[in-house]
Structure 1
Amino acid sequence: MSITVTTWSLEQTSPDDLRPAAEPAGDVRIVRAEVPSPEFSRFLYTAVGGDIRWTDRLGLTYAEWQNVLDQPGTETWVAYENGTPAGYVELAAQDEGVVEIVYFGLIPAFRGRRIGGHLLSYGVARAWDLAERWPDRPPTKRVWLHTCSLDGPHAMDNYLRRGFRLFDTKTEEQPEVATPGPWPGAQA
């Protein structure tokens, strides 16, 4: 059985494109995970993407996770609400001043609390100033990401509100996969 999935690619080409969201009420902090940790990254990946069919990294070994995290210009920024991880944004520097927002999202219990717009704004700002933390990287000229019809219902609107512009759309049939959740049986 297959499903039709539409994937949209969006970009910003200047730091002036960013339209930051208001900060949410309460104790929300965003902190860079400075020690590359496959265990923590896998936790974030499954906790955020488990109900929206993120499966592309589930088969990675520990060494493969470590390799992804050790790439120069790769950063993970984590939002915490009252000390609890609420979501994350993963940045990956590419060639010629391009930075991809590889993953972005919130753990389901934290969605709908105005944390997502703030986290995305913060992550995009960090993509634009990435060269300050990675002096061997060229200044950022473009920040891009993709989202798809399987992502949360507010994802596209959040990206557009932050100043991203659509530059490509693809539709394809993909095999239907069970929603894995953050651990086996979590969605039962």
Structure 2
Amino acid sequence: MDPVTLRTPRLTLRPPALDDVDAIQAACQDAAIQRYVPVPVPYSRDDAVSYVTGFCADGWASGERLTWAVVEGDGLVGTVGLHAIADGAAEIGYWLAPGARGRGIMRESAAAVVDHGFDASAGLGLARIGWRAYAGNAGSAAVARALGFRFEGIARLGALGRDGREDDWLAGLLATDDRTPRPWPVLV
């Protein structure tokens, strides 16, 4: 699949590039990213290079996994992507560097990716986008909820974390859903 650049009023979303390696490596030193995102620990510069030139590039080439660098000004502040793209569905995932949190950046960038995913003419024409995160990842859950994702439940011991099996929170959004945020029982 040809790479796609998305724009919001204050952000550019484009495929990660080698110029992003230092920012990716720095962000992936964050304890929250290491807790909730399956990245190597410790996270080296070589890991960031492999992420950009392998994981991200291969995903765009196959069309099965599309990852965007979230760029504010001239610098990468996070990534957002659609993965497991097949049969009209995908899953969304994202991370944001600590200094960029709390300003609506991920909500804005993830909304652009969701819009692209559901767009039948210029995007992917998906029917469903799923979301999952290790139980306790309230920041990620708050973004998904704000985008209108519906909480669907808890997959008990449904994820393999760094320290063994743990619960996963699950949510989904359909192309036909009203995106008005609704309460989630895990975010009380």
TM-score range, shorter chain: 0.5 to 0.7
Matched, 1:31 2:6: no
Question: Which 10-residue stretch deviates more, 165-174 or 104-113?
Answer: 165-174
Tell me which residue corresponds to 2:62: 71
Matches within 5 A, 1:167-182: 167-172=152-157, 176=163
Tell me which residue corresponds to 2:91: 100
TM-score in terms of structure 1 length = 0.59
State the structure with bigger RCO (CA 8 A, min sep 6), 1 or 2: 1
Match of 2:110 among 98, 117, 120: 120
TM-score in terms of structure 2 length = 0.59
Residues 147 and 70 of structure 1: is their aligned pair in 2 closer, same or farther, counting only changes over 3 Å? Answer: same
Tell me which residue corresponds to 2:134: 148
Question: Which 10-residue stretch deviates more, 157-166 or 45-54?
Answer: 45-54
SS at match of 1:30: strand
Report the number of matched residues: 144
Residues 69 and 127 of structure 1: is their aligned pair in 2 closer, same or farther, counting only changes over 3 Å? Answer: same
What one-letter code is carried by the residue in structure 1 that aligns with 2:135?
Answer: S
Residues 29 and 148 of structure 1: is their aligned pair in 2 closer, same or farther, counting only changes over 3 Å? Answer: same
CA distance in structure 2 between the aligned counterparts of 1:99 and 1:54, rounded to whole angstroms: 19
Tell me which stretches of 4 or more aligned residues in structure 1 moved more than 6 Å.
none
What one-letter code is carried by the residue in structure 2 that aligns with 1:129?
Answer: D
RMSD: 3.6
Residues 145 and 73 of structure 1: is their aligned pair in 2 closer, same or farther, counting only changes over 3 Å? Answer: same
Residues 37 and 69 of structure 1: is their aligned pair in 2 closer, same or farther, counting only changes over 3 Å? Answer: farther
SS at match of 1:104: strand
What one-letter code is carried by the residue in structure 2 that aligns with 1:148?
Answer: Y
Shift in Å, 1:51: 2.0
Tell me which residue corresponds to 1:109: 99
Tell me which residue corresponds to 2:180: none
Residues 44 and 122 of structure 1: is their aligned pair in 2 closer, same or farther, counting only changes over 3 Å? Answer: farther
Tell me which residue corresponds to 2:80: 89
What one-letter code is carried by the residue in structure 2 that aligns with 1:168?
Answer: G
CA distance in structure 2 between the aligned counterparts of 1:142 and 1:104, rounded to whole angstroms: 17
What one-letter code is carried by the residue in structure 1 that aligns with 2:31?
Answer: D
Which ranges in structure 2 are unaligned for 5 or more consecutive residues? 1-7, 42-46, 165-188
CA distance in structure 2 between the aligned counterparts of 1:112 and 1:39, rounded to whole angstroms: 25
Tell me which residue corresponds to 2:4: none
Question: Which 10-residue stretch deviates more, 59-68 or 153-162?
Answer: 59-68
CA contact (8 A) 2:131 2:144 kept: no
CA contact (8 A) 2:20 2:76 kept: no
CA distance in structure 1 between the aligned counterparts of 2:36 and 2:25, rounded to whole angstroms: 8
CA distance in structure 2 between the aligned counterparts of 1:130 and 1:41, rounded to whole angstroms: 33
CA distance in structure 2 between the aligned counterparts of 1:100 and 1:46, rounded to whole angstroms: 25
